[in-house]
Amino acid sequence: MKKRLVAPQTLKGFQDHLPAAMIARNAVVERIRRVFEQYGFVPVDTPVLEYLTTLIGTGGEETNKQLFRLESPEREPIAMRFDLTVPFARLVAQYLVELKLPLRRYHLGPVFRADKPDPGRYRQFTQFDIDAAGSDAVAVDAEIIAAMCEAMRALGLETGEFIIKINNRKLVDALLEGLGLSNRETQKHVLRVVDKLGKIGVDNVRRELGRGRVDESGDPIKGVGLDESAIAGVLEFIALTGSSRAGVLAALTARLPSSEASTTALAEMRDLDACLAALGVAESDAVFAPSLTRGLDYYTGPVFEITLPTVAGLGSVMGGGRYDHLVERFHDTPIPGTGASIGLDRLMLGLEQLGKVVAEPTTTRALVIGMKGVPAAELLKLASELRAASVATEVYFGPSTKMRDQLALANERQIPLAIIVGDDELKNGTVSVKNLRAGLQARAELKDHDQFKAAGKAGQVTVAREELIATVQEMLA
């Protein structure tokens, strides 16, 4: 009977990562991790699944709709985490005695949202977060921003290739209260609409702040229902700019209504500016942007995000902010927190377009090749010696015994060196070491067949077995 095969396919909105992509991702993660640890952040991990009651209602109505909901074997309602921040708040409350506050943590892991898939937007994506719990000092927000700025620098991004936008939810709250919009649900709706400014444009934001609009697919989108004067006030606020962070604050001071809320929010932003300056965060890298709101409901103070301005249509690659009441969902004691999250998948897309990552199909530095008849034990012994000297080594155990095919595989995978062992090498106590990159360079400009064939030995030396490690290390260097 003919075997019925299952079609190999990836779920819509999900993606596979092949070796070249994973090697590049791991290199990026390692650079970011080193920066985070320099700022005192320590690693934690939490389960992908949480009780539904842990997650529901923390991100807002739209996030509730995007949850992947499941049922445990005990028939309990559970869901896949939509971010790493809510699980961190749960973790802090659950292990408050053991963790000791203040606490700084970093966390790398997948999160899940049943969102509409688009370029750079997936239903499973990887976040790399830092968070600090136990301090309400604006200096901690400044350090989060500085760490993110330094992480971008560590990835090779220069001034103009990334920008950190910063705002404060308290500023927006002060504006809305001055406009007579004190209803909390109305305020949240306004924030969610303004958060879409970069995606839908100011005209559609105007419509959504009013009666609503119809999107490109023909679906109606409910409006906030503000009157024209309130809409004008919101649009005027989010359009404010300045030549410096202090300049933006001056414009905000002139625009915001005189109130205790405004005074508190502006003072907090002045402190934040002073802390950023003390940390060496340049005006060109981090700007105050009143149009930034961030869509999640749990933010309570400074909010921030990173974009790559020269990469069109990418969206933000980092977002975060202060959430001083999120842990109170799980614990009676008020525990302030702040943090930021890098969207690794979207960041990788941006880095690739900017030429900041190099795809390497393998981490192997040397391929051991045995001619026909050479015992496998001899090849494995060579590989063990190389690995003990910190040389990433693979032994060819493929179907072909032809050296040409084995060298072709090494070249295809961009392995720098081939270690060749035949009968003569075994008898004489020698090995041949071939610098594959040198051979490729020697043949690159040749067109004559005889010259091309002669160049095949370029970069190849035969050395005594005891000289192998030194020879390999010299060639790799």
Structural domain span for residue 259: 163-295
Both 370 and 335 in one domain: the answer is no
Are residues 45 and 135 both part of a single domain? yes
177 CB-near residues (< 8 Å, 6+ apart): 257, 259, 261
pLDDT at 208 > cutoff 50? yes
Number of domains, the chain: 3
Tell whether 315 and 451 lie within a shared domain: no
- Domain end point (choices 295, 318, 341): 295
| In a shared domain, residues 43 and 105 | yes
Measured between alpha carbons, how far is 475 from 429 in angstroms, rounded to an integer? 20
- Could you give the dihedral angle defined by the CA atoms of residues 65, 326, 32 and 137, in that order, rounded to the nearest 10 degrees? 150
**One domain, residues 150 and 192:** no
Residue 302 in any domain: the answer is no
| Nearest to 171, CA basis, from 236, 224, 237, 226 | 237
**Type of residue numbered 469:** I
Query: Could you tell me if 112 and 241 lie in one domain?
Result: no
Per-residue pLDDT tens digits for 34-58: 999 999 999 999 999 999 999 998 8
- Claim to verify: residue 129 and residue 186 sit in the same structural domain: no
Q: What is the mean pLDDT of the chain?
A: 92
Q: Given this model, what pLDDT does residue 359 score? A: 83
270 and 201 in a common domain: yes
pLDDT at 452 over 50: no
Q: Binning pLDDT at 50, 70 and 90, where does residue 19 land?
A: very high
Which tens digit of pLDDT belongs to each residue from 246-261? Answer: 999 999 999 999 999 9
pLDDT for residue 170 is more than 90: yes
pLDDT at 116: 85
Beta bridge mates, 93: none
- CATH number, residue 263: 3.30.930.10
- Please report which confidence band the pLDDT of residue 440 belongs to, taking 50, 70 and 90 as the band edges: low
**pLDDT of 120 strictly over 90:** no
pLDDT grade for 297, boundaries at 50, 70 and 90 = confident
CATH of the domain at 374: 3.40.50.800
Residues 124 and 171 in one domain: no
Whole-number pLDDT of residue 400: 86
Residues 18 and 154 in one domain: yes
69 and 101 together in one domain: yes
- The predicted model gives 148-177 an average pLDDT of 96
The answer to whether residue 454 scores a pLDDT higher than 90 is no
- Any residues with CB less than 8 A from the CB of 183 and at least 6 apart, and which? none
Over residues 361-387, the pLDDT tens digits come to: 999 999 999 998 899 999 999 999 999
Is 243 domain-assigned? Answer: yes
- Do residue 316 and residue 443 come from a single domain? no
